[in-house]
Amino acid sequence: MRVAIIGTGYVGLTTGVCLAFMGHTVSCLDSDEAKIKALREGKIPIYEPFLEEVFHEALPQLNFTSSYSEAIPEAEVVFIAVGTPPTPSGAPNLEYLSQAAKSIGQHITRDFVVVVNKSTVPIGSGNWVDSLLREAIAGRTDKSGTLGFAVASNPEFLREGSALHDSLYPDRIVIGADEPRALEVLYSLYRPIVDQTFTPPNYLPRPETVGAVPLLSTDLASAELIKYAANAFLALKISFINEIGLVAERVGANIGEVGRGIGLDSRIGPRFLSAGIGWGGSCFGKDTAALIATAGEYGLHLPIVEAAKKINSRQRDRVVEKLLNELKILKGRTVGLLGLAFKPNTDDLREAPAIEIAQKLIDRGVRVKAHDPIAMEKFEQSYGKMGVVLCQSAEQVVEDCDAVVLVTEWNDYRDLDWEALAKKMRSALILDGRHTLDKDKLMRAGMRYVSIS
Ligand SMILES: NC(=O)c1ccc[n+]([C@@H]2O[C@H](COP(=O)([O-])OP(=O)(O)OC[C@H]3O[C@@H](n4cnc5c(N)ncnc54)[C@H](O)[C@@H]3O)[C@@H](O)[C@H]2O)c1
């Protein structure tokens, strides 16, 4: 099939590359011309494991452009995958979505096109995009024949850091539309993934447990709500274990063991039960805020989701409290941060805990040093003026530090030579923000080990 993807960020580029890998002909469109230029030159603007490999295999099926008149007329399916960043009220900024919908409407030429919201958008956005498309089509002078379309919702559940794996072997695909023909088109599009009939790349083999992928087709509003509800649930699972962590700390229980103990219950499941400094990233904060804002429009309060957000923000304060507790005075101290990206295997810094923690420490007169295996260049571009001293290695970070905080659980940090590092520090204190380091090993290496539980 012929597909256009509007927005070539983490979601749009991954989707485009995977659909092209399935044999579809895909035009990836972005208003950022520098991004398109880079992609045309074969340069991937984001760090995502295996994206480059799949990109190169799928290249004959891919086209990159900034021109709607080039991407839209031939497309049978148009995905909107533009950003929907938060506004101060919590409601997402839908400006990019609106621009994309209008531009699509100005360039549709086929008699039936499925326009798919893949961006995470508030409930009701499907209807809104439908009306924007109609308006744009009505305003055209070049109408010929019937310009038909249907709007669908296809929420994205990929996780940055394993986006390619998640797109090729998803837990489920959700498609929502009020028009049955749109659901049929999307089913055909996703068929190789649903039936798992494609030949897997040898660097991303199909897990033995993966069979046919459940495809859930719903009405528009349900698909839109599924996305918000899924993210809110994952966010509150993390906040739940962090709340239990507070109790664990007081009563002398081990939160790691508590998390494992409850996660072995198949009704609960083991994932998202690691206590620590809480979630970050471009989705959980934004999507929980958007869900609360949408509920507010209907006069509803969502106390559970609100509490999850509050607990998450408290976890960042707890980093400062813990350091204060151990070091007594923060002013004039040097603290090293290991990890800047919001999670391992990505260079994404949106709502990264490291940024909030660094700012809180700087505000208290702390000199902050940091290292990240991948995200330092992006950090320098966006947060270069914050005053964080970037270091080329973990060894450089710890030098003369009064404490070091493990912020992002990159594998690289698990097997450091902690004995050598302890000797370089002014005081050998480690605050494990992710419950990921081997406490006994660190203590044997001469480190004072503290964690956020
Ligand atoms: N990143 C994730 O892990 C993830 C996961 C699931 C869902 N989502 C959702 O997917 C959407 C996209 O997220 P992302 O992380 O890929 O965003 P992103 O910021 O990485 O990419 C968005 C892209 O859209 C482009 N763009 C903006 N307006 C445009 C327009 N009018 N025409 C063409 N291009 C335009 C931007 O230049 C940018 O390259 C968001 O709604 C997000 O909530 C993201």
Q: Which CATH number fits the domain that encloses residue 251?
A: 1.10.1040.10
64 & 156 share domain: yes
36 & 158 share domain: yes
Q: How many CB atoms lie within 10 A of CB 303?
A: 8
Distance CA 243, CA 301 (A): 21
Instruction: Name the amino acid, one letter, at 386.
Output: M
Cβ within 8 Å of residue 160, ≥6 positions away: 10, 48, 281, 343, 345, 346, 348
Q: Which helix (H) or strand (E) holds 174?
A: strand 173-177
Determine phi and psi for 433, rounding to 5 degrees: -80, -5
Position 99 scores a pLDDT of 98
176 & 47 share domain: yes
Q: How many CB atoms lie within 10 A of CB 270?
A: 13
250 φψ region: left (φ > 0), alpha (ψ -120 to 50), beta (else): alpha
Position 451 scores a pLDDT of 95
233 & 361 share domain: no
Ligand 1 site-directed mutation target among 6, 8, 11, most atoms within 8 Å of CB: 11
Ligand 1 mean position to 245 CA, how many Å?
A: 34
For the chain, the 3-state helix, strand and coil shares in percent, each to the nearest 5, are 45, 15, 40
Ligand 1 site-directed mutation target among 30, 64, 378, most atoms within 8 Å of CB: 30
295 & 342 share domain: no
Position 40 scores a pLDDT of 97
Position 28 scores a pLDDT of 98
Does 338 sit in the ligand 1 pocket, CB within 6 Å? no
Position 145 scores a pLDDT of 61
Token digits of residue 181: 């023909």
Does 119 sit in the ligand 1 pocket, CB within 6 Å? yes
Catalytic residues: 283
321 & 249 share domain: no
Last residue of a domain, one of 307, 340, 371: 307
Ligand 1 mean position to 80 CA, how many Å?
A: 8
Question: Which atom of ligand 1 is found nearest the CA of 119?
Answer: 41
Determine phi and psi for 400, rounding to 5 degrees: 65, 20
Ligand 1 site-directed mutation target among 5, 153, 156, most atoms within 8 Å of CB: 156
Does 283 sit in the ligand 1 pocket, CB within 6 Å? yes
* Atom 21 of ligand 1, residue of closest alpha carbon: 9
Token digits of residue 128: 């809104």
Does 94 sit in the ligand 1 pocket, CB within 6 Å? no
Position 141 scores a pLDDT of 85
Cβ within 8 Å of residue 388, ≥6 positions away: 337, 358, 362, 368, 369, 370, 379
60 is in which domain, residue-wise?
2-218
**Total of domains in the chain:** 3
283 & 328 share domain: no
Closest alpha carbon to 47 in 374, 278, 423: 374
Ligand 1 mean position to 83 CA, how many Å?
A: 3
Position 453 scores a pLDDT of 78
Does 15 sit in the ligand 1 pocket, CB within 6 Å? no
Closest alpha carbon to 72 in 104, 97, 98, 101: 104
- pTM listed for this prediction: 0.94
Closest alpha carbon to 407 in 374, 372, 382, 442: 372
Position 146 scores a pLDDT of 66
Distance CA 86, CA 318 (A): 25
Does 289 sit in the ligand 1 pocket, CB within 6 Å? no
Q: How many CB atoms lie within 10 A of CB 226?
A: 18
28 & 177 share domain: yes
246 & 208 share domain: no
Does 294 sit in the ligand 1 pocket, CB within 6 Å? no
Residues of the chain with pLDDT under 50: none
CATH number at residue 21: 3.40.50.720
* Atom 28 of ligand 1, residue of closest alpha carbon: 96
Position 3 scores a pLDDT of 98
378 & 236 share domain: no
Token digits of residue 55: 């990109």
